[in-house]
């Protein structure tokens, strides 16, 4: 059965008996063009919306569509493709949480042996490099998060807090790849591991991993490479982990090549992203604490810490710890998202 015949057969599929003629063809190694992909996606939606036949309930058809979207290369999904992708592509929340939790147990011990834990100067908290999920940003944008009561995407910030949204050199690229409305997080404190300042700013929001990863309202993805390195020839599967087993295969690869000391996000450039999630509410349950880089001029760090504390108090989050890191981090060998003055500016 050729590609055109397969499309026609799927278009006319109304019940299980129609599967016999397309099962063999589904296994054929076709390369689908963008117009053909669009047509196949439209077939699935028309079938579901008109109640004829729910393709996604049948494992063979579901896997066919997953592989179709995995192979898609180019820029952002259009709206129909995105709706279908959100339904069938993300790894289950429970699987991501299970994997992160196993990594937590292994790597918290590993990092604590390799990198000393540290305590703040004025509160009884021991910090490690693996205390939750980390979102890093500029001072001004961080203050906007607190004012809004939520972490928010770049798109939401530009639309609602344009005067407090620090520009980033990746914005245009994020738009064409359809991730401008995503929220990005690191799965460990790569600042503490690498002793390098983040290109995106001196403020780290540390979020409770269980609260985020087990929340099924968030559509979660894990990048294979930093989006700054993406190009239009890369497929979805080149950009994201697609299955639970693939995560563990990657872990075994890291161990075999002795690079398991950088799990998920650090030098391997992995993020967990919340897909098309414009806001993540900041609450005592979701936000553990906030870390501020130690500037060469310590008084600047104190000024930033105090501004954050004041903002937290104004929105009823006065009990959230705000802590200055113990060491000045290296920053002269990284490409900053914008100027250092803009990243540190309180206003």
Per-residue pLDDT of 283-297, as tens digits, reads: 999 999 999 999 999
Is residue 236 helix, strand or coil?
Answer: helix
Res. 269 pLDDT band, cuts 50 70 90: very low
Distances (CA, A) of 135 to 32, 138, 166, 280, 333: 37, 10, 15, 11, 21
Q: What is the CA radius of gyration of the chain?
A: 23
Which of these ranges, 22-36, 208-222, 272-286, has the smallest mean pLDDT? 22-36
Domain locations along the chain: 3-88, 93-344
How many residues make up the chain in this entry? 347
Distances (CA, A) of 309 to 13, 34, 267, 305: 60, 50, 31, 6
| CB-based contact 48:55 (threshold 8 Å) | yes
Q: Between 244 and 145, whose confidence is greater?
A: 145
Answer yes or no: is pLDDT of 177 > 90: yes
Q: What's the mean pLDDT when you consider all of the chain?
A: 84
Most confident of 8-17, 44-53, 80-89, 248-257: 80-89
Q: Between 157 and 118, whose confidence is greater?
A: 157
Q: What is the pLDDT of residues 12-55, one digit of tens each?
A: 666 555 666 666 667 667 788 889 999 988 888 877 776 555 66
Distances (CA, A) of 62 to 5, 35, 85, 90, 167: 19, 20, 11, 13, 40
pTM here is 0.89
Nearest to 295 by CA among 303, 286, 307, 283: 303
Can you tell me the mean pLDDT for 180-209? Answer: 90
Most confident of 46-50, 162-166, 246-250: 162-166
Q: What is the pLDDT of residues 102-152, one digit of tens each?
A: 776 666 555 555 556 788 877 788 888 888 999 999 999 999 999 999 999
Res. 255 pLDDT band, cuts 50 70 90: low
Res. 168 pLDDT band, cuts 50 70 90: confident
Can you tell me the mean pLDDT for 252-272? Answer: 51
| CB-based contact 259:292 (threshold 8 Å) | no
Which of these ranges, 171-175, 198-202, 253-257, has the smallest mean pLDDT? 253-257
| Residue 54: CB atoms within 10 Å | 12
């Amino acid at each position: 059965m050729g590609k055109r015949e397969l499309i026609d057969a799927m278009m006319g599929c109304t019940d299980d008996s129609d599967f016999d003629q397309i099962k063999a063809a589904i296994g054929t190694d076709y390369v689908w063009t963008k117009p053909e992909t669009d047509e196949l996606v439209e077939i699935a939606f028309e079938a579901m919306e008109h109640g004829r036949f729910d393709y996604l309930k049948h494992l063979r058809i579901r896997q066919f569509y997953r592989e179709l979207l995995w192979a898609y290369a180019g820029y952002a999904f259009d709206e129909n493709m995105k709706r279908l992708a959100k339904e069938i592509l993300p790894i289950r929340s429970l699987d991501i949480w299970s994997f992160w939790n196993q990594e937590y147990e292994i790597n918290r011990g590993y990092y604590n042996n390799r990198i000393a834990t540290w305590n703040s100067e004025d509160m009884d908290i021991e910090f490690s490099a693996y205390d939750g999920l980390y979102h890093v940003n500029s001072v001004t944008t961080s203050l906007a998060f607190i004012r809004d009561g939520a972490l928010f995407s770049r798109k939401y910030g530009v639309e609602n807090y344009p005067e407090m949204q620090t520009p980033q050199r990746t914005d245009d690229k994020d738009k064409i790849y359809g991730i401008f409305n995503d929220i990005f997080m690191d799965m460990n404190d790569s600042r503490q591991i690498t002793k390098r300042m983040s290109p995106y700013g001196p403020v780290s929001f540390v979020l409770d991993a269980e609260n985020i990863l087990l929340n099924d309202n968030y559509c979660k993805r894990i990048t294979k490479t930093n989006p700054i390195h993406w190009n239009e020839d890369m497929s979805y599967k080149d950009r994201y982990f697609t299955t639970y087993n693939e995560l563990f295969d990657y872990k075994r690869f890291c161990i075999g090549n002795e690079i398991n000391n950088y799990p998920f996000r650090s030098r391997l450039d992995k993020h967990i992203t919340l897909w098309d999630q414009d806001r993540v509410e900041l609450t005592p349950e979701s936000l553990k604490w906030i870390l501020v880089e130690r500037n060469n001029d310590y008084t600047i760090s104190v000024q930033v810490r105090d501004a954050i504390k004041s903002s937290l108090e104004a929105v009823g989050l006065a009990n959230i710890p705000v802590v200055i890191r113990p060491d000045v981090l290296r920053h002269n060998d990284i490409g900053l998202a914008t100027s250092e003055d803009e990243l540190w500016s309180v206003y």
